[in-house]
Each structure stands twice: as structure tokens, then as C-alpha cells.
Amino acid sequence: MTYEVYKFIPNDENPAIRNLMVVDDNKVDQMIYRRIIKRSGLVGQVLQFLSAEEALIHLRRVDRASVDAILLDINMPRMDGFEFLAAATDELGDSFTRMLVVMLTTSLDPGDEARASQFSVVKEYLNKPLVQNHLLQIAEYLARNATKGTHTEG
Amino acid sequence: MADHYLKTELDHQMSTDPEMWSFVQQASLDGVWYWDLEQPDQEWMSPEFWRLFGIDPATKSHNPAEWQDIINPDDLKIALVNFELHCADPAHPYDQLVRYRHTDGSTIWVRCRGRAIRNDKGEAIRMFGVHNEITAVRRRHETGRELDAANSELRDFAYAVSHDLKSPVNTVGMLLDELHEGEGARLSDDGHHLLSLAGESIGRMQVLIDELLRYTSIIGEVMEFVPVSLNELAQGLLHELDAELSAANVVIDLQPLPQVIAHEEQMRLLLSNLLTNAIKFSRLDCENRISIAGQTTGDNRVLISITDQGVGVGPEDFERIFTIFTRLHRPEQIAGTGLGLALCRRIVMNHGGSITLTSDPGVGSCFTVELPQSQT
């Protein structure tokens, strides 16, 4: 297994965020994200990846469930967040996720934010650490854009 | 157009009075040489040339082998290539920097220029040349480059370290939150107290790292100067600081500020730091007034002053508080990292200006920023 899946809310209960991917190389951070995500009561299931390469391999699979949102760390060894963004949009277009949220390590990365904003799939930025309110923002974005109605399979 | 009469007269003087040439040589040249290309072992060198390297001219014969012996071999190759090219084509300059070995072992830098004198067929038969010694210039240049490299390495190091610290500090902050969230109900009062102290310490560390990142990021930043409205900047900042202002019981007196040619983000950081500083040191027992004023002086400098009625600073600390990591209070008394005013001074330095403080303990402080506006 190249990633971990945790199911919190069954699909028939219509969670605000059905399928969330988190890409971050820090294991402890991932554990804390998982607890925050579970506690939020907003997320159906979370897929956690410790490397961007593994996340990319998963996105290539034709039999995967559709992804509502991806939380993406920037500073990762080997393939960093930007390289992941470039590779994913190159290969898969913009539709591999409904929204992508870039997690910035510092509030002082205007350069990083500008760089990330060049990808249309990037809809939000959040400054680490992840808090409940960030998940609420993601849920609200998805609700606002739900009318486009691609959200049928599960 | 005919030459000025003085130019004609000067030319005449130069060609008739040998003292004129000797004056030019002594006043502006460190060496002169004259080479017979038809008898290439004959080259007259001025005595001044040998003295550059601590050599007694009397011990040297007028033979090019003499100087070829103490010149840097790589530089000699370049000089010989230029010599060949110049002889073939007058448009190719004979002009290069070469290194000679001084008798004390040190390196002497010499700019060596020359021009060929040609016969009727255009063949080079003599070569006349001059030397200028530029070792001091060269050394300054090299020291400057080494300093630049050292500075930028230091900046990259500080940035990388603070950036790498950021991640574990975030993690610990989140762990403490999780501990509070998950186990809070089971903790004793003492446990809660310890947890909140840990949280405060981590919070301070996060602020410190942010400030450190901010500080290092403006060292050697490429400076793009644009017109900046200090009025708009100040109004925007005051809006952001609204909550802090009322909490600290501060009234702001914002007078019209001039427009400056400056780096916009750095001006924002400068004003923001000076303002938060003034708010931070306001007195708890009464209303505080902070005045922000600016003026353009006759000699095209902009003066901005921020005057508060806060706790003030003794004259012994006027200079010291701008030093990085210098704090006059413990963190429990007044929060801070010792980076704010160091950042201000760095920004002002980046703009070729100065920042000064006058203050009376118990009465208030006035920070004055002076920015030259010669860029306009």
C-alpha cells in the first residue's frame, strides 16, 4: 500500500467533503491532520500520501473514486508540490480533482503563492498549521460549486 | 571646425618642450616602455616600472626577457596574443590587465597598453606602451566580491535554517492543540497550566521564526523603486491595526505624508514595524497619542517621524535598540523578538537613508526616518 485510507462518514450520509487527498511527507503532521479531519465531521474519507509520486500514481488509476479536494504540501523531497502540480496538470488536465488547496509552510511565501496561482486547478491557499476552519472553507467552496454536478459516483 | 587656439598651442608645447611629456609621465603613468620590433631583444623600460616590484632598475637590462621573467605566465600568453593581433590590425587594441611578482612575493596588478608604430608598408616596427598600477583597485574589487558572496551565503543559510525550523515548530504546536483537544478533560489544573505555557512558548517561537524569515528575506533583495504613497500605506496599516489600537487605548494623529520613491513592500514593513512598536510600548494607565508626520526637505530628502507618548527609552539605549536581537524587556513584560527595529534599520539602509531615535523615559519616543530621494 502506497497510501493510507480512513473512512469516517459513509457516502449515503452525504459528507460535505466525500473524498479528500492529503499529500505531505511529514508522518506526524499526517497523523494530526487525520485527527482534525475526523473531528471536523465534514469528511467522508481521507487518502493520505507521504510522497507526491505516490499521489500521482493514484491519480492515474482509471478505477479510482473522484477526488473532491487535495491538500498539497510544497516542501517535499524528490518531487515537490510544484513539480507535482506541473506533472498532474500536464498528464491529467484540470479535472483530476474538484479543487486543490496549497499548504504553505510560512505566511511569507508570496513567491510560492504567485507560482501556485499559475495553475488554474489551485483554488485556495492555507498557511500551516491546518485548522478546522480550513476544512470548513473547503466544504463551502465545494457546496458553492456543486451545481456543476459531477458528483455522482462514489 | 578648427581646434580651440589653446589646443593648437598645447599641441605645439607638447611637441617642442620635453618637460611637458615628462610631466604627463610622472603625473599619470607608472611605467613607460619602447620596444624595437626590428631588434626584438631591445626594449627600453622606464626605471619607475622596475620600482613597482621593488627592483633596482640598475640591475636590469633593456631586454624583454627581463619582464617576461616576472610576469604571470598566463597573463603573458594573453599579452602576446594581443600583441600579434594588434600588429596585424591596428583596430585590435593592445590593452590588458597583467600580474607581476613583487620581490616580497605579493602580486602587483598592472594595466598595460601600447600602440605599434608602423613603416610605410604598415608593418609594425616599434611598440610604444604605458603602465598603470591598479593593485589597490583590484583588491577592493575582490574584497567586495568576497563580501557579497559571504553575505548571500549567510542569507541563504539563515533563510534555510528558519524555514526548516518552521516545520517542526508547527508540528509541535499542532500536537499541543491535539493534546488539549483530546485529553483536556482528563488533565489537572497543573496539567492545563503547563500545556498553556508550552503553547505560549511555541507561539513565541513561531513569531520569532517569521520575523527571522522576514529579516533575512530583505538582505540583498533586488530593489525595485517605485512611487509609493506613504499616506495610503499608513491608512491601510491603521485599518489592519484597528483592534490593537483600541485595546492599547491609542489615538492616531495622521498628518499628510509625502510620496516617496522606494521599495513598496519594504516601506510597508518599515511603517508597520514602527507603528506596532509605538502601540506595544504605549502606557497602560492613560490615553496615548501617536503622531505620524512627514515632510520633504529642500535638498530632496523625505523625513518621516513617528512620535508616541509611551514608556520611552534612556539615551544609553538610543543606538542599541536597533541592534539585532537586542531587547530591553523580558517577553512576559512586553512581547517581541528583537528583530523589528533591526529590520527597520536594514530597510532604511537599503534605501540609503538613516533612522534615529530621540526619547525621554516616561514621556515618549520619536523615531525619525530620513530617505534620500535622489532616485527621482
B178 touching A, CB under 8 A?
A: yes
- B306-328 tens-digit pLDDT: 999 988 888 888 888 888 777 77
Chain B residues in contact with A129 by the CB 8 A cut-off are 170, 173-174, 177
Q: If one looks up domain A3-18+27-145 in CATH, what number appears?
A: 3.40.50.2300
* CB of B213 less than 8 A from some CB of A: yes
Task: Indicate the residue type of B143.
Answer: T
The tens digit of pLDDT for each residue in B165-175 reads 888 898 999 99
Rounded to whole angstroms, the Cα distance separating B296 from B301 reads 6
Q: Give the lowest-confidence range in B65-69, B148-152, B296-300, B311-315.
A: B148-152
Looking at residue B117, the DSSP 8-state letter turns out to be E
Domain boundaries, chain B: 5-133, 137-217, 223-376
- List all residues 6 or more positions away from B204 whose beta carbon is below 8 Å from its beta carbon: B331, B335, B337
Chain A residues whose CB is inside 8 A of the B182 CB are: 35
Q: Extract the C-alpha cell encoding B140.
A: 577592493
- pLDDT > 70: percent of chain B: 98
Query: Among A38-47, B104-113, B160-169, B212-221, whose mean pLDDT is lowest?
Result: B212-221
By C-alpha distance, the chain B residue nearest A130 is B174
Looking at the partner chain, which of B171, B181, B217 has a beta carbon nearest the beta carbon of A29?
A: B171
Grid cell 499559475 in the structure block, residue:
A118
Q: Which of A4-18, B46-60, B234-248, B334-348 has the lowest mean pLDDT?
A: B334-348
| Residue B362: pLDDT over 50 | yes
What are B282-299's pLDDT values in tens digits?
Answer: 888 888 899 999 998 888
CB contact under 8 A, A108 and B174: no
Task: Please give the pLDDT value at position B207.
Answer: 84
- Across the interface, do A106 and B213 touch by the CB < 8 Å criterion? yes
DSSP H stretches of helix in chain B: 5-16, 18-28, 47-51, 64-68, 73-88, 135-183, 189-217, 230-240, 242-247, 264-280, 340-350
- By Cβ distance, the residue of B163, B175, B217 closest to A105 is B163
Does the domain made of B223-376 have the CATH classification 3.30.565.10? yes
Give the angle subtended at the CA of A99 by the CAs of A2 and A40, to the nearest 5°: 75
Was domain B5-133 assigned CATH 3.90.78.10?
Answer: no
What is the H or E stretch that residue A115 is in?
Answer: helix A110-116
In angstroms, the CA B354 to CA B349 distance is 6
**Banded model confidence at residue B143, pLDDT cuts 50, 70, 90:** confident
Is residue B261 within 8 Å of residue B228, measured between CB atoms?
Answer: yes
Q: Measure in Å the smallest separation between the Cα of B311 and chain A Cα atoms.
A: 31
Cβ of A144: how many Cβ atoms within 10 Å?
A: 8
- A&B contacts, CB < 8 Å: 40
Write out chain A residues lying below 8 Å of B167, CB-based. Answer: 26, 75, 105, 128
Domain coordinates of chain A in residue numbers? 3-18+27-145
CA pair distance A29, A90, nearest whole angstrom = 29
Predicted ipTM > 0.90: no
Please give the residue of chain A at the shortest CA–CA distance from B167: A105
Positions of chain A with pLDDT under 50: 149, 151-154
Confidence of residue B374 (pLDDT cuts 50, 70, 90): low
Within 8 A of B214 by CB-CB distance, chain A residues are 108
Q: What is the mean pLDDT of chain B?
A: 89
Output the CATH code of domain B137-217: 1.10.287
The string of pLDDT tens digits covering residues B264-282 is: 889 999 999 999 999 988 8
